[in-house]
Amino acid sequence: PFICINCGSIPEELMESELFGYEEGAFTGAKKGGKIGLFQAADQGTIFLDEIGDLPMSMQVKILRFLQDREIQKVGSSVREPVDVRIVAATNRNLEEMVAGGQFRSDLYYRLNVITIKVPPLRERKDDIPELSEFLVDKFTVKEDMEKKNISDRTMEYLKLYDWPGNVRELENVLERAINFLGSDTVILPEHLPETLTGRKQSFSSKTLKEITEEVEMNAIMNSLIYHKSNKTDTANALGISRTSLYEKMKKYGIGDEN
């Protein structure tokens, strides 16, 4: 198995139980029978620790111990269990600077830094953007069970002109946002892209307060859905509204799939 873990997306208080699992009764709300963690689920396979620079110090110690002993200990258990996984880590941060600044453990850094592959930023490989964009669009539409979407030639030109400071993740978010704006349309046009890419300036001068408020609300919902990878429960919680209210607003603004 290959399991990807985004170190910046799991709350610190939940990270240990997510990675290493827990025993029944380990904490309030623990499932009956307990739960295996992601490391055990990847036994005999690979764990990809994405954005390891976001790993809290408390978890850096535990990951280091795992790398040394190749054993995990579930929350609420005194038993250590062997797990055989390969660790691959990635980050867009400078870990050497973080080590020097005391934000990342030097012993963990040197444990991980066996083979380093530096991936050039997207702005230095713009010839990859068309193929990469099509792959990301297909990946998202398949995951969401949508019909195939295409990217217009003009839209692709905008994608190739932009410098992508957030690299592939930013490109993926932009394309997911565009797809959610499409509704029943099948072609991504420049107007479906953020203004930062197209140079369009937003003007509220001729709009009513209601129209401005609705536009801001729609963008907030879109951005939150993208951030939470279309998880409606997490999106509703982040926005401070109920799931029912979120579905109503998505239907109102024609955002993606309300199911």
pLDDT band at 106 (very low <50, low <70, confident <90, very high): very high
Instruction: For residue 198, give the nearest of 153, 137, 168, 154 by alpha carbon.
Output: 154
User: Is the pLDDT confidence value at 60 over 90?
Assistant: yes
Within 10 angstroms of residue 202's Cβ, the number of other Cβ atoms is: 9
Average pLDDT of the chain?
88
Between CA 163 and CA 171 the distance in angstroms is 10
Q: What percent of the chain has pLDDT over 90?
A: 55
Please give the pLDDT value at position 259: 46
Please give the pLDDT value at position 226: 66
Spatial contact of 56 and 15, defined as CB atoms under 8 Å apart: yes
Query: Based on the number of CB atoms within 10 Å of its own CB, is 175 exposed (0-12), middle (13-18) or buried (19 or more)?
Result: buried
Helix (H, G, I), strand (E, B) or coil at 88: strand
* Residue 45 β-bridge partners: 85
Between CA 39 and CA 113 the distance in angstroms is 20
pLDDT band at 197 (very low <50, low <70, confident <90, very high): confident
Which domains, from first to last, does the chain contain? 2-112 (3.40.50.300), 122-253 (1.10.8.60)
Token digits for 66?
């795992």
In 15-51, which positions are buried (b, 16+ CB within 10 angstroms) versus exposed (e)? bbbbbbbbbeebeeebeeebbebbbbebeeeebbbbb
Q: Are strands 35-36 and 80-82 parallel, antiparallel or unpaired?
A: unpaired
Between CA 6 and CA 51 the distance in angstroms is 6
User: Is the pLDDT confidence value at 203 over 70?
Assistant: no
User: Is the pLDDT confidence value at 145 over 50?
Assistant: yes
What DSSP string runs through 118-142?
A: PPPPGGG-GGGHHHHHHHHHHHHHH
pLDDT band at 158 (very low <50, low <70, confident <90, very high): confident
- Rounded to an integer, the average pLDDT of 165-173 is 90
Read off the pLDDT of residues 77-104 as tens digits, 9 standing for 90 and up: 999 999 999 999 999 889 999 999 999 9
